[in-house]
Structure 1
Amino acid sequence: MALQGAIPVSHEMVFPHGCYVVGEISPVLDFDASTKDRHVAARDKVSGELMWAVPVMDADPSLKASVKAVAVKIVSGVEPKIPAPPAGMAGLPFVPVVFDGLTVTPYVNGQGRMAYSFKATGLHAAPEQGAKPGRGGVKDTV
């Protein structure tokens, strides 16, 4: 049960400490149309585009471990790809990303508690650490 429609938010509002992809991108299933033997991909109710789930870990150090992992749904006709990690992070298992067109929808979950659903229109590699936002990941030389 949604309390109100999707609310546009910035990536920085939701993930002020950043976030990292911690698994594979997978199609979101339409649980009403799918059966045990036949999986049906879910489509966004507004655009009709396919939806993909991206598991991420919120880098906020103040969060409890149990709430750090979230899934962000990407609304896209094609499967999004996990971007390459910044040069300084090559070989690490987690890729820092930034979500484009991020929205949040509050709802009451099955246990009667407030929960949130995140959707985005895309994702791209986060700027290298120390880079200023909006500078394309170029490090500040000061």
Structure 2
Amino acid sequence: MAIQGPIAIGFDQVFPHGCYVVGEVEPVKDFDASTNGRFVQARDKTAGEPVWQIAVMDADPTVKAAQKTVAVKILSPVQPVPPASLPDSPFVPVEFDGMTATPYVGQNTGRLAWSIRARAMRAPRAAAAPAKQAPAGKEVAA
């Protein structure tokens, strides 16, 4: 099979309705290297960079409640900082760049699951302004 390793995927394919921060950025534990008294942060096997993770909530209204929260792992030499919250809102929208998805079989469920990774986290880009309506027969530049 030609596909080996993570599959490059766009943010809009993973979160077509967007997503929101619901947790803190945390280092991912390397379970093989860590011991009872010593925490060792995981490093990406290919890039060698430290791995961080953040919990986000999928804004897709059709996703079941139990599947709404997803951990996104971020490869970064320094701890990533989430974007600022929106004024007058408890929600922090976020987007990820350089995303990949790696399929695996969940140990507890025996079902196909996906590990989502990203290279960067940022505030969403502003949506394009809607075109202004003009009287019939005339065009208006937005």
TM norm structure 1: 0.85
Larger radius of gyration: 2
CA distance in 2, matches of 1:55, 1:67: 12
Q: Verify: 1:48 aligned to 2:45, yes or no.
A: no
CA distance in 2, matches of 1:68, 1:7: 22
CA distance in 1, matches of 2:88, 2:35: 39
Counterpart of 1:27, as a letter, is: P
Name the residue aligned to 1:66. Answer: 66
CA distance in 2, matches of 1:116, 1:50: 20
> Unpaired segments of 5 or more residues in structure 1?
133-138
Name the residue aligned to 1:118. Answer: 116
Q: Assess if the C-alpha contact under 8 Å between 1:20 and 1:94 holds in 2.
A: yes
Matched position secondary structure for 1:93: coil
CA distance in 1, matches of 2:31, 2:69: 22
Name the residue aligned to 2:84. Answer: 84
How large is the RMSD of aligned CA atoms in angstroms? 1.6
Q: How many residues align?
A: 129
CA shift at 1:141, angstroms? Answer: 6.5
> Unpaired segments of 5 or more residues in structure 2?
133-142
TM norm structure 2: 0.85
Runs of 4+ in 1 over 6 A off after TM superposition: none
CA distance in 2, matches of 1:4, 1:107: 13
Q: Which has the higher contact order (CA 8 A, sep 6+)?
A: 1
